[in-house]
Each structure stands twice: as structure tokens, then as C-alpha cells.
Structure 1
Amino acid sequence: MNDDYYKLLAVQRSASPKDIKAAYHRALLAAHPDKNPDAKSKDIHAIQQAYRVLSDPARRAQHDTDRQHMPAAPRPAQVISLAEFDEVPEHDRWTHACRCGGNYAITGADMERGMHLVPCTSCSEVVWVGYELVEE
């Protein structure tokens, strides 16, 4: 499970059932296609799933347990601007040397998916790559 339903509904872990229900309705309204033309049906499905889990005490307890046992996201060793990477245009890829001798690599497709955390190909180090997508 990768979804943190508390984050999705924008409520604290200590939220009451009443708070969760109110947050659910706010989230549905914000994701409604008539209110938000960029909304996707998967957004509404995720919001409904979050409410199903958090409104049921047994499912909520299981969600909390699952979240506690998830490994933490890797902490980046440093922040590096994409401008510091070497571009390999024929592969739509950018690379940057790691201090271990390996390298970090990010592609245009990675960036379009919003990926910023990039692991080294040789060691366990991870960096955060800074960039902005420009609409053409």
C-alpha cells in the first residue's frame, strides 16, 4: 500500500469520524469534474477508497499498522540542479557522477512523471534533482 489516506483527505491521524466525513466531502467536491476540469476519475476513486478505509474502525487500524511498517522514503544526500547534469540528447537522459564512481540518471519521461529522487547506479545514495517542466 503506497497511499496515505490521511494525507489524501487532508486530516490528522487523530481525526474523529466526523472530521473524516467532512474531509471526504470537501475532497470529493474539490475533485468533482464540474468544479475542477482537470480532475480525473481515479482521483475520485482514491478519495472514495480513503473514506471506506478511514470510516471503518477495523480497516483504519489495519491501515495505521501497514503505514507504521512501511520503510521510510530515502533521504536525499544532496540537492542537485538539472543544470549540473550532463545531457545525453540521443537517449533523452541526463547523468551526474556520484562520489562512489557510479552515476545518477534521469530521463525526460521520469521528469514528466514528477520524479525528483534519483538513486545512484552503484551505491545506496539518493539525490534530489531540481528542475521545472516548461510547457511549449
Structure 2
Amino acid sequence: MSVTPRSSPAEIKAAYRRALLRAHPDKNLASAALLVDIASIQEAYRVLSTPALRAQHDARKCEPATPRPAQVISLEDFQEHAELDCWSHSCRCGGVYKINGEEMENGQHLVPCTSCSEIIWVGYELAED
């Protein structure tokens, strides 16, 4: 379905019906090859036509997405800088990934490069005291 956040209930219903017609194998033989899941169209209509469910859906869409790490790297592959309580690892762009003890204590695993937009997931386990 193709609707905007400001679509009225009538516009949502019209888009739902158009989507069903496009996906129905008796109405459009070409759609049979697409294997469109009519149940997913019905679920989308149910969510968008129910004010409470639509509000939840809209709230989830506005949440910032968690960045997807480019790769997983073990802390063992990082260079330790004991005097600074941090670890570093070279990025392929020439920049550096840096993580310190405080960040690890706070459970941070996603670490951005200091030079490019790439992010990695650093694997480590905190030692028991």
C-alpha cells in the first residue's frame, strides 16, 4: 500500500483495495507470478486503519535506526594502550576505531571510525571482579 502519514481513512481504504486488486490472481494474472502475500496487505490495512495501532507504527518509524555494523571484530584484534585505558584498530580508510574502558563498562559495542562513516561491532566480555 502506498499512503502518506497524513492519509485519511478513506484514502487508506482505497489504497488497500487497489493493492488487493493488483495482488489478486483472478484479477491480474501477472501478479500470480509475483507471489504477493495478500495476508501482509491485509495486516498493513489493519494496522493503518486502527488509530492506536497506527500511532504505534508511526512512533516506531520515528525511532532512530540502529546502525548496521560493517563487520564484527574481537577486542583481541585491537591494539591496547594501557596508559590511556583504550584500544584502537585501523580502519580500511586509514582512520581508527577507538574504544575505552568506560565505554565497555557501559556495554557499548558499536564503534565508529574516526575518519569515515563505517561502524564496527567490537566483541568482548567484561572480566568479573
Kindly indicate whether residue 96 of structure 2 is the aligned counterpart of residue 103 of structure 1: yes
- How far the C-alpha of 1:101 sits from its partner, in A, is 0.6
Q: What RMSD over aligned residues (CA atoms) do the two structures have, in Å? A: 1.8
Instruction: Give the match's secondary structure for 2:114.
Output: coil
Instruction: Give the match's secondary structure for 2:104.
Output: helix
Which among 66, 71, 77 is matched to residue 59 of structure 2?
66
Q: Give the direction of change, closer, same or farther, for the CA distance of 1:58–1:103 in structure 2 (3 Å limit).
A: same
Kindly indicate whether residue 103 of structure 2 is the aligned counterpart of residue 118 of structure 1: no
Kindly indicate whether residue 123 of structure 2 is the aligned counterpart of residue 130 of structure 1: yes
* 1:39-78 equivalent positions in 2, closer than 5 A: 61-78=54-71
User: What whole-Å deviation, never above 9, does each CA across 1:1-23 have from its counterpart, x for those lacking one?
Assistant: xxxxxxxxxxxxxxxxxxxxxxx
Q: CA–CA distance in 1 between the matches of 2:101 and 2:118?
A: 21
Q: CA–CA distance in 2 between the matches of 1:60 and 1:86?
A: 48
Gap runs ≥5 in structure 1: 1-56
Q: CA–CA distance in 2 between the matches of 1:81 and 1:105?
A: 13
Report how many residues are paired. 80
- How far the C-alpha of 1:131 sits from its partner, in A, is 0.4
Name the residue aligned to 2:82. Answer: 89
Q: CA–CA distance in 2 between the matches of 1:78 and 1:125?
A: 9
TM-score, length-scaled by structure 1: 0.53
Identity within the alignment, %? 57
* Letter of the structure 2 residue corresponding to residue 70 of structure 1: E
